[in-house]
Amino acid sequence: MRPRYAADYKTILWLALAAANVAVMWFRPTLRPYLLPLACYFALAAGIIAHNHNHCPTFKSRAANDALNHVATLFYGFAAFNWIPTHNLNHHKFQNARGDATITWRYSPKHNFLTAVTYPFISMAFQAPLIDRYVKESRTKRPRMYRSIMVQLVLCWGLPIALTFVDWRATVWAFWIPRFFSLYAICYFNYGQHVHTDPKSEWNHSRNFTSPVLNFLLFNNGYHTIHHMQAGSHWSVAPEKHAEIAANLDPSLNQPSLFVWMLKSYLFAIVAPSVGTHQVGEAPEQQHDEPSGTAQAA
């Protein structure tokens, strides 16, 4: 089955490499510590692949698209369908303003190491009600989607739990640790792309990380402004589309390096606050609701 875009041969190759890495880790215990960083990276890549795929399907065939979601789920560690209620239907609608389950200033308008390191856990808690609601609605309104959801949940939780009883050490190394890393990293990446940005601005609602190396590894997910503006565009065209709008953005929202930005935000800013992030434009009011009161998805 050929992908719709030639660039997605990379998508298929990366998932195959993820599977190969897990297989080696499973059968060669002595290599697990050395292959763990690769496993964490491929788990993160699988999550990004699931994200891209749910915005712009990889294949024309619905069966093939379902299969890719199922494979990505296995390595990502979070069912691929979760991108729909939490990201496609909620985050893209509210864009880090009030109503967004993943809003970056729920409890504090500050950006420091403490707010950043705790954000993924808070974000996950507020996304949970949206996921639960979507699953319940799918059961009655979207039976085909519900069947796909059930398969993904078995792959996401049932299979790894079963494998844990077969060989818990191999499963922890090859699945559980990489899965936690990928989910945490993706939540944090969303934080970095939106903290201290202006959700009401036409241009300055997102932060971009433009490193060619980072974007090669993360399927161009560093280009976040254009993603919000043209969510259905294929990930491979993000650099050229970003180049068309880059001049309109506040310069602080085009960062050449994620890691340098993190160093400035969490280390250098302690002694030199001016190198940290500062609110661009208008910040929305803080949102203090409990997870059960999270805004409805679109």
Sign of the CA dihedral running 75, 222, 125, 169: positive
Strand partners, 177: none
Residue 294: inside a domain, yes or no?
no
Helix residue ranges per DSSP H, 113-176:
113-141, 143-153, 159-166, 168-171
Residue 293: inside a domain, yes or no?
no
Its domain, for residue 163, covers: 8-280
For the chain, what percent of residues have pLDDT higher than 90? 91
State yes or no: pLDDT of 106 exceeds 60: yes
* Total number of domains in the chain: 1
Residue 101: inside a domain, yes or no?
yes
> What does the pLDDT read at residue 288?
55
Residue 181: inside a domain, yes or no?
yes
Q: Stretch 135-141: mean pLDDT, rounded? A: 95
Residue 193: inside a domain, yes or no?
yes
Sign of the CA dihedral running 71, 76, 78, 82: negative
> What does the pLDDT read at residue 132?
96
Please check whether residue 190 is in contact with residue 102, taking contact to mean a CB–CB distance below 8 angstroms.
yes
> What does the pLDDT read at residue 133?
96
Tokens of 113: 């190491």
pTM for this entry = 0.92
Residue 298: inside a domain, yes or no?
no
State yes or no: pLDDT of 282 exceeds 90: no
State yes or no: pLDDT of 56 exceeds 50: yes
